[in-house]
Chains A and B, each alone.
Chain A
Amino acid sequence: MSVRNIPSTAEKTETKRVSWYDIVALVLCLTGVGISSYLTYTKFFNQSIVCVEGGGCDIVASSPYASFVGVPVSLLGLLMYLTLAAGVIARWWFNQTNNLIWRGRLDWALFISSLLSVVFSGYLIAMSLFVIKATCIWCLASATTITVLFALFAVRLWRSVEEI
């Protein structure tokens, strides 16, 4: 009886589907990785940023606000998106292996780190709009990406309460 109730790993893996949360989150993380990689590349190789007509991508990217404590914010963004992507994959893995404790911890970690990123992103957008007075479509895209990611992680953490 008890043997029947304890599933083998193979069975578990078979039964757990990848949720759409994971797929969407991973796609968004990779989108963020793409955006921030491009901006990091242009920063380190002094390339002009492809921008919409009338946009101020280069103005924003060359402003003092494009670095934080001496580190380009695009590089910080890249590291954050890579961390979040790793977190999403790890969370998926812990879900597959039924490690609910670590899955819960990762829900919290993803929630907190994405929230931190949203606040930082908000600061950067505020600086670009009100101080630099120029907009950068890539920065707005990244800000939107991280905001949607945060919403996903928040909803998932919120809903995980129902599984108590």
Chain B
Amino acid sequence: MAKQNPPTKNKTTITGTAPKNSTEPKKLTPKQQAMKRRQAIRRRNQIVLVGLGVVVTAIIAIIAIIALTTPNSFQNISTAANSDIERMTIGGANANVTLIEYGDFRCTACKTYFDNYEPAIRSEFVTTGRIKYVFKTLPVIDTIVGDSDSTRAGEALECAADQNRGWDYRDAAYKNYVGEISGKLNDKYLKDMASAIGLNSSQFNSCLDSGKNKSKLAEEKADAASKNLNSTPSFVLKYSGKEEVVTLTSLSELQTKVSDAVKSVEGAAPTK
């Protein structure tokens, strides 16, 4: 019946809607047909626009979600734990000379020192146990850039030190130096780096989130201010009951200064 071919004329369709290719064209005036065509074009434009909108939105959303959730990748990271001998300290436990570095993870000169001058000092005095080497954060780049990323990185460093891996974290930070104004040294980066070196992530993350080491950073800043240190890297040598700020015209002089201190304590010329 009506199920088969569309009715020829007077009968309305069983579904109540006008079937295609039936008497419809006869009913519509040219004006109505033109209106219908315009309406169809408008609706199809709508489909195309919505489709494009969905595609663009989806692409942006995917990129944003990936950027926010993908862990940062780090270079030259070893998960082998090198525990600090004391808090933020490496070297000889019984050494009578202590070298204290005041650094900032974003400072370019610190990175230069780390790459070019520190290896010699570490091989000659630290791995041989002749000095203790302490690192403290002095967030000078915060003042220059006007943010608090270096301070936050210092807090993260203290969280790593809570797990006796402060120096591993500090080394990873310099090996993966992010520059002064890249904005990359955010909480996610700091947490990803902790995970990359094999720290207990949940402990580290809750430490950083709680801000429990803010006071330590404030103490370190006050300590640096009391010594009139306002640039990084700055160094202080402690030996024979005295504490002296190392004045350098070039970073290459540091090795000699350390050598002199060690020599004076050991009473004999060490090396070089």
Residue A158, interface by CB 8 Å: yes
Instruction: Say yes or no: is A3 at the interface (Cβ < 8 Å to chain B).
Output: no
Q: Which residues of A contact B (CB under 8 A)?
A: 5-7, 11-12, 14-16, 64, 68-70, 98, 100, 108, 111-112, 115-116, 119-120, 123, 154, 157-158, 161-164
Q: A7-B16, A14-B3, A98-B16 are in contact. Are A154 and B62 (CB under 8 A)?
A: no
Closest residue of B by beta carbon distance from A150: B51
- B47–A6 touching, CB < 8 Å: no
Q: Are B54 and A115 in contact (CB under 8 A)?
A: yes
Q: Is B20 an interface residue (CB 8 A)?
A: yes
- Closest residue of chain B to A95 (Cβ to Cβ) is B15
B44 within 8 A of A: yes
The CA-CA distance from A56 to B93 in the complex, in Å, is 52
- Beyond A14-B3, A15-B3, A116-B54, is A5–B40 a contact (Cβ under 8 Å)? no
Q: Mark B31-60, 1 if CB is under 8 A from A, else 0.
A: 000001001100110010011001100110
Inter-chain contacts of A7 with B (CB < 8 A): 14-16
Which residues on A sit within 8 Å (CB–CB) of B67? none
How many residues of chain B get a CB closer than 8 Å to chain A's CBs? 24
Cβ-defined contact, B16 with A6, below 8 A: yes
Q: Interface residues of A: mostly helix, strand, loop or mixed?
A: helix
Q: B186 to chain A: which residues have CB within 8 Å? A: none
Chain B residue, CB-CB nearest to A113: B54
Residues of B within 8 A of A12 (CB): 14-15
**Residue-wise interface mask of B (3-45) relative to A, using a CB-CB cutoff of 8 A (1 in contact, 0 not):** 1000000001011110010000000000000001001100110
Tell me which of A70, A112, A163 contacts B50 (CB under 8 A): A112
The answer on a CB contact under 8 Å between A69 and B20 is no
Residues A69 and B62 in contact, CB atoms below 8 Å apart: no
B58 partner residues in chain A, CB cutoff 8 A: 115-116, 119-120
Chain B residues lying within 8 Å of A111, measured Cβ to Cβ, are 47, 50-51
Question: Quick check: A154 and B70 within 8 Å, CB to CB?
Answer: no
Q: By the criterion CB–CB under 8 Å, are A157 and B15 in contact?
A: no
